[in-house]
Amino acid sequence: MTAAPRGVAILGSTGSIGTTALRVLQRHPERFSVAALTAFSNSALLEEQVRQFHPSFVGIVQNGASTHETWACGAECLVKAVEHPDVSIVLNAVVGAAGLDATLAAVRAGKRVALANKETLVMAGPLVGEACRAGGGEIVPVDSEHSAILQCLAGRRPEDVRRLVLTASGGPFRAWPRERLQTATVADALQHPTWRMGRKITVDSATLANKALEVIEAHFLFGLSYDQIEVVVHPQSVVHSFVEMVDGSVLAQLGVPSMELPVLYALTHPERVHDTGVPPFDPVELSPLTFERVRSADFPALRLGIEAGRRGGAAPAVFNAANEQAVALFLDGRIRFGDIPRGIEAALAALGDADGRTRDALLAADERARRFVREMFAC
């Protein structure tokens, strides 16, 4: 290959996806260079990464977390990172709504966003779409389910697709009785059976709010209606999702539960690379693969999120913000597991019709939803 390596910005480089991405990039120095790194507050790990990868730009969000004079500080460092001239691909691996401005800035600047930060697309799908059209940038999903769907849809005509079926591991509480769920502890919720991830998405996987975010994400990424997107529980996390065609033929993408491949594919799509280090696929070793119906009545966050998606406007942003706030309170030991969907439902009932046409309106709805949840639980 003769082209120069492409500069990648990793937003959230100290997190689960961020560190996975650095491992992936390290394996392909002929294709990629690390052009920018940002983190929230973990300056020790960020410093180690800077020593190893020599990025042109380094940013840390929390003021006072670092004394490096050359590092950018504060929330604006994310947008500065994506706008840096050495950056051509942005891996947005920030958790939560905090990633919104960086996604918008990157696609407006005509760059590819490899998007792990699904909350961005959920809260502002139409605005992200508009910014892509205006600036010529694109969103390529990192989420394993959406990476699977992207690969299954390649070369298909939209009118030939009947529906998408997203797989869900079911999380740690898949088989728990409903009454026990109410009082599940933080330690219980952080025991994910198949994936090692950041704390917020791990709790989202336990409530199934993560799957709701993913249904909305799929709606915006692939332009299918909510009636065409379904969820099935698949505890082994080997089939990453299905696409059913109008003639009843069903396509799926499979792989062991590791984020390395979806991260790499989001950077190289539609190209594929050799030497990924992924172990050979052995269907017998991975057997049996099983599927179950979702227990929607026991995991109300899934239904609430899909309803918010259908409602549109600011409702998905309210769903996302209420969930982020409730999860933070749960992780802090201030509310119970069963309070998470209660907080989301009440916030949507009170604020779901808020204006969502602009970035500022969405951020205002986000802020109000967080305050609503804090006040509801007197926190």
Residue of this chain nearest to Mg ion (CB atom): 143
d(CA 52, CA 62): 22
Q: How far is the CB of 150 from Mg ion (least distance, A)?
A: 13
> Residue 98 binds what, of ligand NAD, Mg ion, none (CB under 5 to 8 Å, by partner type)?
ligand NAD
The alpha carbon of 16 is separated from its chain's Cα centroid by a whole number of angstroms, namely 12
Our CB check for Mg ion shows the closer of 103 and 237 to be: 237
Binding mask 248-287 for ligand NAD (x = CB under 6 A): -----------x----------------------------
Site of tokens 């990648």: 8
3-state secondary structure of 12: coil
Question: Which tokens is 312 given?
Answer: 């549109």
Contact 376, 351 (CB under 8 A): no
217 binds, among Mg ion, ligand NAD, none (CB under 5 to 8 A by kind): none
Q: Based on the shown chain and the rule CB under 6 A, indicate whether residue 47 belongs to the binding site for ligand NAD.
A: no
Question: With binding defined as CB under 6 A, does residue 87 bind ligand NAD?
Answer: no
Q: Are 343 and 325 in contact (CB under 8 A)?
A: yes
Q: What angle do CA 35, 41, 47 make, to 5 degrees?
A: 50
* Distance between CA atoms of residues 114 and 268, nearest Å: 10
- Closer to Mg ion at the Cβ: 11 or 209? 209
Q: Which of 31, 84, 108, 118 binds ligand NAD (CB under 6 A)?
A: 118
125, 104 in Cβ contact below 8 A?
no
Q: Does 143 bind Mg ion (CB under 5 A)?
A: yes
Backbone angles phi, psi at 64, to 5 degrees: 90, -5
Query: Is residue 117 involved in binding ligand NAD (CB under 6 A)?
Result: yes
Q: Would you say 81 or 244 has its CB closer to ligand NAD?
A: 81
Q: What is the rounded CA–CA span in Å between residue 160 and residue 283?
A: 29
Interacting span for Mg ion (CB under 5 A) from 49-57, 135-143, 282-290, 305-313: 135-143
Report the nearest approach of ligand NAD to the CB of residue 337 (Å): 19
> Which CB sits closer to ligand NAD, 31 or 118?
118
By the rule CB under 6 A, 215 interacts with ligand NAD: no
